[in-house]
Structure 1
Amino acid sequence: MAGVYFHFPFCKQACTYCNFHFSTSLNKKNLMITSMLKELKLRKDFFNNDIIDSIYFGGGTPSLIDANLIGEFILYVKENFKVSDDIEITLELNPDDSSIKYLTSLKENQVNRLSIGIQSFNQEDLFLMNRSHTANQSYDTIKMVKDLFDNFSLDLIYGIPHSNIDKWKFNLNEALSFDPPHISSYALTVEDKTILKKQILSGELIPLGELDIEKQYWHMINYLEEINYHNYEFSNFSKPGYYSKNNLGYWGGKAYLGIGPSAHSFDGNMTRSWNVSQNMSYLNSIKKNSLPLSKELLSLKDRFNELIMTGLRTSSGVSTKEIKDKIGEKFVCYLEDNAKKRVLSKDLYWDGDYLHVSKKSKFLSDGIASDLFLINL
């Protein structure tokens, strides 16, 4: 299975924490859409015999795009690629872009899953993060979505400055009051070249302490597990049958094609590529029928490290069979030997041919993974 990702690089305003590629100037929006469709046509031979089971519209803010134009992208994929009968088609939705008319049109254009960027039900948090929607718009949007879509996800952020465990419990309870099939929840990360980083460096904001962030994380893990949400990936929780195919494909190392400025692609084997992260450079290149991308052939060491990082973030774990089949048996031997210390400390455990992070060490998953990385081949 494989996926297609569309990156629409436009937003109404800049969230303080965001370091994704986007522009708040919408004057090139129509040209960008035309160019992205053209790039899709230029890359129609990207997949071999892979069957696409996921189309994902992200950004930026794809809900700024007319639903009929979203439908054009979907139609082209379905007419020119091999597509699964039960393909998942997700669009990231901002609450302030929602209306019954727009949501109905999305559904008519074959979008069958929405990822709603709630982030917080607390208006103070939304103001701090410079989100473009209000808490009231979040409530209204979820109600409209539930009337039209069976499959949707609520996106939340924890670890926000000035927050505490009670505020986080409120956010989680508000989200769960809508009985969502899926929840994605990420810790607020201070990235370089963001407004948030500048606010912290200037002393305007004080970041939440690591122990407070971890406390919020563990409340989420334990509470969602208690009410039968499956933590199938570090930041993603699902009811049975509602796992995100896009997420499973990405973390499972499946092939995916990225369309649009800054979008990344992976052939499912050893080659990655990424488009230029500058709108005008992208547009000029596509105008000349030239793909605006750079490529990287992964080394065996890099591929091994990726398999460790992605595998340990998921409930599936790291498959030694996959490592053996993709890069060789000697890497399995290295992993088995290098994991012994962490297995003894009960940070890791084996279940057959799969290596997993124990529940007690989930919060430290990335650090544990880096301990297993191959430094020199």
Structure 2
Amino acid sequence: MHLYIHIPFCKQACHYCDFHFSTNMGQKSALVDALCTEIRMQHLYLPTPNLETIYFGGGTPSLLTEAELAQIFETIHTYFTVSPSAEITLEANPDDLSAEKLRMLRQYVNRLSIGIQTFDEATLHWMNRAHTATEAENCVRLAREAGFENLSVDLIYGIPNRDQSRWQLDLQKIRALDVPHLSAYALTIEPDTAFGRWQQKGKLPPADEAIAAEQFEELTQALTQAGYAHYEISNFARSGQDQTVQYARHNTAYWQRKPYLGIGPSAHSYNGHSRQYNIANNVRYIADIRQGKLPAEVEELTIADQVNDYLLTGLRTQWGCSLTELNGLLRTDFENQQASDLAAMYASGWLIREGDRLRLTNAGKLFADRVAATLFVE
């Protein structure tokens, strides 16, 4: 089973981010108390209490103090059994990762996901990131010195009005750092962000899809040549010291339809037949929890919902979608029902069948959502 904890605080608002967070730290202590109460309220949501992964996302979880982390983990261990081999991930920003902070974090977590985004100083400033290019490089070295071997780094590509040489610099830096895992995302400009408002006022051009596709292909080629497995559209992993590929086990559970519990404002949960969505408001979340009320809406999933969710997530991975699993969900033969759409996707060169599996081709990775949507059932 899998546990996600949302920490909805940031030092400042990045211009591209539309995740739920607040820059007001005044309620951080009260919110941590509420998180712990929600764990108690929801601990029976999962089929078993045995946790294989724990993931602290945000927001900026690296803003948590040692006392706050200790409080959360004490609560987790009260209501769950954490596997000795559990992957415990914490998202962190480079400016939080001093040697002292890393030594403290190492007592609680065994994997860091570091939001570097770019190594270019001008672009970091333009994005309103809190860290510098120097901190972006140094934090990986400091993390290793603190004992973190399981490291992931985030990058953003497809940035408008950006010289191509800056993307090449990012790729060079990533190869030089030799981290075992990379997540890379094309910049998406959402309406309710600073970039979205700039774009509405004509101050920022739309993202260039052709440039984003070119940079994605450069990224894929560079990391594949460096020995990384491109195991999900946005994720790359290579073998660690024990020679096992260091996939993000927590995120892989999402893509493989495994049950997970989400704790905190805006967190989602999934148990196989329904999804649960927590309110994305810190004040109301804390108030509801204090009143003993779960601040969540529940969506019961139809058979079509379950099939389509699996297509949307499974096709993004190197494992693709199992026809046996699709048939089991649909309770009929998926290939027969979707024969014409499958034929069109095979002919496009974006999709192939290998044994029991439907997989995207390298060309198809650029059109993953379109392929999945074409195959959706009603």
State the TM-score bracket (shorter-chain normalisation).
Answer: over 0.9
1:210-255 C-alpha deviation (Å, 9 max, x unpaired) = 1111111100011111111001110000003210011111111111
**Secondary structure in 2 matching 1:199:** helix
**Greater shift in the superposed pair: 123-132 or 160-169:** 160-169
Q: Secondary structure at the match of 1:207?
A: coil
Aligned pair partner of 1:298 in 296, 301, 322: 301
Per the TM alignment, residue 309 of structure 1 is displaced from its structure 2 partner at its CA by: 0.6
The residue aligned with 1:212 is 211
1:47 and 2:73 are equivalent in the alignment = no
**Alignment partner of 1:117 out of 112, 115, 118:** 115
CA positional deviation for 1:146:
1.6
Identity of aligned residues (%): 37
Q: Secondary structure of the equivalent of 1:339?
A: helix
Which residue does the alignment assign to 1:359? 362
Following the alignment from structure 1 to structure 2, what is the Cα–Cα distance between the partners of residues 233 and 272?
23
Q: Which amino acid aligns with 1:364?
A: F
Contact 2:303 2:329 in 1 (8 A): no
Identify the residue that residue 126 of structure 2 maps to in structure 1: 128
What's the offset of the Cα at 1:332?
A: 4.8
- Give 1:46 shift: 1.0
2:105 partner letter: L
- Which residue pairs with 1:348 in the alignment? 351
Cα–Cα, structure 1 residues 37 and 215, in superposed 2: closer, same or farther, change >3 Å? same
Matches within 5 A, 1:17-32: 17-32=16-31
Deviation sequence 1:166-213 (CA, Å, 0-9, x none): 211110111221110000000000112111111112122223421111
Matched, 1:277 2:275: no
RMSD of equivalent CA atoms: 1.4
Q: Give the residue type in structure 2 aligned to 1:186.
A: Y
- What one-letter code is carried by the residue in structure 1 that aligns with 2:185? Y
The correspondence of residues 249-264 of structure 1 with structure 2, limited to 5 A, is 249-264=253-268
Distance in 2 between residues matched to 1:120 and 1:9, nearest whole Å? 23
1:7 Cα deviation after fit: 0.5
1:311 matched to which residue of 2?
Answer: 314
- Do 1:36 and 1:259's aligned partners in 2 also have CA atoms closer than 8 Å? yes
Instruction: State the 1:76 CA deviation.
Output: 2.9
Residue equivalent to 2:100:
101
Q: What does the per-residue CA deviation read over 1:3-32, in whole Å, with 9 as the maximum and x for residues that have no partner?
A: 111101111111111111111111111000
Secondary structure at the residue paired with 1:131?
A: coil
- What pairs with 1:63-74 in structure 2 (closer than 5 Å)? 63-74=62-73
Change (3 A) 1:331 1:72: farther
Aligned-partner Cα distance in 1 for 2:70–2:221: 39
Counterpart contact for 1:93–1:114, Cα < 8 Å: yes
Aligned amino acid, residue 182 of structure 2:
I
Say whether the 8 Å CA contact 1:10–1:26 is kept in structure 2.
Answer: yes
Moved more, 196-205 or 25-34: 196-205
Deviation sequence 1:232-279 (CA, Å, 0-9, x none): 110000003210011111111111100000100001x11000111111
Q: Where do residues 214-233 of structure 1 align in structure 2 (5 Å cutoff)? A: 214-233=213-232
The question of 1:371 aligning with 2:369 is answered no
Cα distance in 1 for residues equivalent to 2:74 and 2:238: 29
Alignment of 1:78-227 (within 5 A): 78-109=77-108, 111-148=109-146, 149-227=148-226
1:350 Cα offset (Å): 0.5
Secondary structure of the 2:192 match is coil
Distance 1:50 1:314 in 2: 27
Paired with 2:306 and 2:297, the residues of 1 have a C-alpha distance of 18
Gaps of 5+ in 2: 240-244
**Which amino acid counterpart does residue 293 of structure 1 have in structure 2?**
A
For 1:126, what is the secondary structure of its paired residue?
Answer: helix
* Paired letter, 2:301: L
| SS at 1:6 equivalent | strand
Deviations 1:102-144 (A, max 9, x none): 11011112x0000000001001111111111111111221110
Unaligned residue ranges in structure 1 (runs of 5+):
none
Query: Cα distance, 1:338 vs. partner?
Result: 2.6
1:288 paired to 2:288 = no
- Mapped partners of 2:325, 2:70: distance in 1: 36
Q: Please tell me whether the aligned partners of residues 288 and 295 of structure 2 are also in contact (alpha carbons under 8 angstroms).
A: yes
Corresponding residue for 1:16?
15
- After superposition, the Cα gap between the structure-2 partners of 1:337 and 1:51, relative to the gap in structure 1 and judged at 3 Å, is farther
Q: Contact 1:16–1:195 (CA<8 Å) still a contact in 2?
A: yes
Partner of 2:242 in structure 1? none
Distance in 2 separating the partners of 1:327 and 1:51: 29
> Take 2:208 and 2:270, find their aligned partners in 1: how far apart are those partners?
36
| 1:325 to 2:328 alignment | yes
Aligned-pair CA distance for 1:336: 4.6
For residue 62 of structure 2, what is the amino acid of its counterpart? S
Distance in 2, Cα, partners of 1:164 & 1:253: 39
Q: Which amino acid aligns with 1:119?
A: Q
Q: Secondary structure at the match of 2:47?
A: coil
